[in-house]
Amino acid sequence: MPMMPYSKKPVVSYFLYALYAVVMAAIYGLFTYYGIFARGAECFALRTYIWNLVLITLVLLIDRLYLYRLKKNSEKRKAANIKSKVLHFVSFKASLYLFYMFALTISRLMLLLDVGEIEAAYSFRNYLLSIEYGLILLVAADKFIDQFLKDKKQMKDLA
């Protein structure tokens, strides 16, 4: 049975996709830590929770708008018979899911290993505890936006 030729292109593509998702998740994490938590929200878990919800919703909406624009531009190119290479785009949503899975896992590990006693890890542990339910918020916000857009399309079709 002949072996199929090995192609490096898909492997490189997946590697770059994963690398981009990790970088975007890290940037989002740094932004939430230094932009929200370290700026006084450390003492107010409710404030961190609310800002976390706001950021999740904003990023999901930006992701939707960006994908909508990509689709619209793609349709224009097809109408004009212009061929272009497909951009390997990692949605911001994928990076958010990656970040919150990481945050939840690290938070649980820090509690299980009782790392909270180390002074350097105390602030980071509090940060993770304040956002660890972000994954639940992310799933709920994502499903809400999907349902909202589906209902809007349904109403448009009925009208």
pLDDT of residue 43: 63
Average pLDDT over residues 2-20: 68
42 assigned to some structural domain: yes
31 assigned to some structural domain: yes
Q: How confident is the model at residue 73 (pLDDT cuts 50, 70, 90)?
A: confident
Task: Specify burial of residue 145 (Cβ count, 10 A radius: 0-12, 13-18, 19+).
Answer: middle
* pLDDT averaged over every residue in the chain: 77
Owning domain of residue 63: 8-158
In tens, the pLDDT along 77-127 reads 665 555 555 445 667 888 888 999 998 888 888 888 876 666 667 777 778
Q: Alpha-carbon distance 91 to 20, whole Å?
A: 10
Q: Which residue has the higher pLDDT, 42 or 155?
A: 155
| pLDDT beyond 50 at 27 | yes
DSSP letter (8 states) at residue 159:
-
1 assigned to some structural domain: no
3 assigned to some structural domain: no
88 assigned to some structural domain: yes
Q: Alpha-carbon distance 19 to 47, whole Å?
A: 31
| pLDDT beyond 70 at 1 | no
Specify the pTM. 0.73
Residues 46, 144, 134, 99, CA torsion sign: negative
Number of Cβ within a 10 Å radius of residue 133: 16
141 assigned to some structural domain: yes
Q: Alpha-carbon distance 44 to 67, whole Å?
A: 35
pLDDT of residue 7: 55
Phi, psi for 44 (deg, rounded to 5): -120, 90
Q: Which residue has the higher pLDDT, 92 or 37?
A: 92
- Contact present, 65 and 59 (Cβ < 8 Å): no
What domain count does the chain have? 1
